[in-house]
Chain A
Amino acid sequence: MDLKIIDYGAGNIKSIQFAFQRLGIDAILSSNPEDIISAEKVIFPGVGEASSAMKKLKDSGLDKVIPQLTQPVLGICLGMQLMCNHSEEGNTQGLGIFDVDVKKFKNDVKVPQMGWNVIKNLKSELFENINEGDYMYLVHSYYAEICPEAIATTDYKIEYASALQKENFYGVQFHPEKSGLIGEQLLKNFINL
C-alpha cells in the first residue's frame, strides 16, 4: 500500500504514522507533489491555526495539488476544515472541495470541545463495521455546518458535520488515530476503499 501523509509542517503527524504502523502499514511523509499525486491513498492532516496552515500549503504549492487528486484522500481535523470553502478562523479561504463553511462554537459551550463524543447519521463505506452512537475523540474550536456532503454528525449544543465526503475526498473532524479500536476500524476502512 503506497500511503502518503502530506507533510506541510502543520501538526503532530507522528501519531497518524504510528496508528497506521499498528495496522501494519508504512505511511510515508511527503511534501513532494509528484509523490503525493502517484500515491494510492493520501492523508491530509492538520493541527493548529487555519490561516497559518493555509499559508504553509500555499507556500509549498500543495493548495493546487490537493483538489486535483483522484485517489481516496482523508482530511483529518484541521485538514478536513481546510478542504471546506471558508473558515472563520483567521478569515481563511479554504480549498473549496467541500461546499460548506467552518464556524466557531459559541460561548454557550466550553471551547475547545475536548474529549469523546458520539458520531451518528453515518452514511459512507468509511463507517463499515462502525455503529451509530460509537465514540470518537475530538479536539476543536471550529466546526463544519450541516450540509448535503455530511456523512456523520455530532451534537455539541448544536448539531454539526463531523465527517464529510465528496467523490474521492473524505474529511473527519475527529482523530481516528487517537480514538481507540473504533478509530482503528475507520483507518482500516479508508485503506480498504
Chain B
Amino acid sequence: MLTKRIVPCLDIKDGRTVKGVNFVDLRDAGDPVTLAKQYAELGADELVFLDITATKEKRRTLHDMVLKVAEQVNIPFTVGGGISSVEDVDDLLHCGADKVSINSAAVKRPELINELSAKFGSQCVVVAIDAKQIEGEWFVHLAGGSIPTNIKLFDWAKEVEQRGAGEILFTSMNHDGTKAGFANKALAKLSELVNIPIIASGGAGTMQHFADTFKEGKADAALAASVFHFGEIAIRDLKEVLKNQDIPVRL
C-alpha cells in the first residue's frame, strides 16, 4: 500500500538554512547537507528546500548546495523558490534535484507548467499554491502569500493539473504559522477535484494534526518546518502515532 509521506521543509538563504534548528546536536545546523542527511536517517520520506535568496547572482550557491545534497542524501528532494524558466529547472535537475516546485511564475505564465512537463515529465513538476480564504472563498496569493490575486484556488488547481503538474503543494495562508492544524476542508475538496497527489502545508502543531490532514484532509503528504526543526515532533514518534490510527506510513 502506498504510504503517506512526511516532508520536512528547509528554508535556504545563500546556501545555508535560515531558521535555527535545535532538534539534534549538530556541529553545523546551518548546513543544509548535514541536516538533510540527518532527516533522512530519522525517517523523513522526502525533503523540500525552499530558496529565499533574493538575488539572481546567488543562484550558483543554490546549485552547489543541490549538487551536494544529491551527492549525499539517499531520499528524494524538491527544490523551490525563484524558479521562473525552463533553464532554471534544467540547471536544478542537472544538479540532481528530483523535483522542482514553481509558484508565482506559474501564475504569471501558466504555459510554463506545460513546457516543464513536456520537457522533463510531470513527475518532477510540483506546483505550489499559496491561498487565503476571504469571506468563504479561497484566493491564490503570490510572493509568499503577500500579494492577493482574483484567481480562485479550485479553478487554479484544476488548471495546473490539466497543464501537466505532477503534484500540488497547497499552503493555507490562514493556517500557516498558527500551529492549529491544516486546512483540511479545502484539502479534501482539492483531493476530490484533481487526481494528482496533494501535499498539505501550513498549520502543523501536533501529531494529531498530521493524522487529521491524512484522514479528513485526504492529503497524500504533509509538509512542516518548525515542529521538526525545533524538535517538538520527532518523525519516528509521529509515524508510530499515525500507524496506530491505521494510517499507512513507512517505518
Decide if B93 is an interface residue (CB 8 Å cutoff): yes
What is the CA–CA distance of A140 and B195 in the complex, to the nearest angstrom?
14
Chain A residues near B95: list those with CB within 8 A: 14
Contact A156/B76 with A14-B70, A112-B123, A114-B167 known, Cβ cut-off 8 Å: no
Q: Which of B72, B74, B76 contacts A184 (CB 8 A)?
A: B74
Tell me the nearest residue of chain B to A155, going by C-beta: B1
**Are the CB atoms of A18 and B71 closer together than 8 Å?**
yes
**Are the CB atoms of B70 and A15 closer together than 8 Å?**
yes
Contact A117/B2 with A12-B98, A112-B196, A180-B40 known, Cβ cut-off 8 Å: yes
What is the CA–CA distance of A48 and B4 in the complex, to the nearest angstrom?
24
| Contacts of B109-151 to chain A: CB distance below 8 A | 120-124
What is the CA–CA distance of A14 and B93 in the complex, to the nearest angstrom?
9
Instruction: Determine which residue in B76, B98, B121 has the highest number of CB atoms from chain A within 10 A of its CB, and name it.
Output: B121
**Are the CB atoms of B76 and A14 closer together than 8 Å?**
no
Closest Cβ of chain A to B111, distance in Å, is 18
Chain B residues near A49: list those with CB within 8 A: 121
| Contacts of B43-73 to chain A: CB distance below 8 A | 45-46, 70-72
How many residue pairs, one in A and one in B, have C-beta atoms under 8 Å apart?
90
Closest Cβ of chain B to A78, distance in Å, is 9
Tell me the nearest residue of chain A to B122, going by C-beta: A112
Contact A116/B94 with A180-B40, A180-B75 known, Cβ cut-off 8 Å: no
Decide if B96 is an interface residue (CB 8 Å cutoff): yes
Decide if B30 is an interface residue (CB 8 Å cutoff): no
Chain B residues near A118: list those with CB within 8 A: 1
**Are the CB atoms of A183 and B74 closer together than 8 Å?**
yes
**Are the CB atoms of A12 and B93 closer together than 8 Å?**
yes
Q: Mark B188-211, 1 if CB is under 8 A from A, else 0.
A: 000000011100000000000000
Interface size on A, residues (CB 8 A): 36
What is the CA–CA distance of A181 and B37 in the complex, to the nearest angstrom?
12
Chain B residues near A18: list those with CB within 8 A: 70-72, 96
Q: Which of A48, A114, A179, A184 contacts B220 (CB 8 A)?
A: A114
Contact A179/B70 with A110-B195, A111-B195, A111-B196 known, Cβ cut-off 8 Å: no
Tell me the nearest residue of chain A to B218, going by C-beta: A110
Chain B residues near A175: list those with CB within 8 A: 76
Chain A residues near B121: list those with CB within 8 A: 11, 47-49
**Are the CB atoms of B98 and A15 closer together than 8 Å?**
yes
Chain A residues near B167: list those with CB within 8 A: 114
**Are the CB atoms of B195 and A107 closer together than 8 Å?**
yes
What is the CA–CA distance of A177 and B70 in the complex, to the nearest angstrom?
10
Decide if A21 is an interface residue (CB 8 Å cutoff): yes
A-B contact pairs, 26 of them (CB 8 A): A12-B93, A15-B98, A22-B71, A47-B124, A110-B195, A111-B195, A112-B122, A112-B197, A114-B167, A115-B3, A115-B4, A115-B45, A115-B46, A115-B220, A116-B250, A117-B2, A118-B1, A135-B3, A135-B250, A139-B166, A141-B123, A155-B1, A156-B2, A177-B74, A180-B74, A181-B74
> What residues of chain B have their CB less than 8 Å away from a CB belonging to chain A?
1-5, 40, 45-46, 70-72, 74-76, 93-96, 98, 120-124, 166-167, 195-197, 220-221, 250
Please give 7 more A-B residue pairs, beta carbons under 8 A apart, in addition to A22-B71, A22-B74, A114-B220: A14-B96, A47-B120, A111-B196, A112-B197, A116-B5, A116-B250, A118-B1
Nearest 5 CB-CB pairs, A to B?
Answer: A14-B96, A48-B121, A116-B250, A139-B123, A135-B250
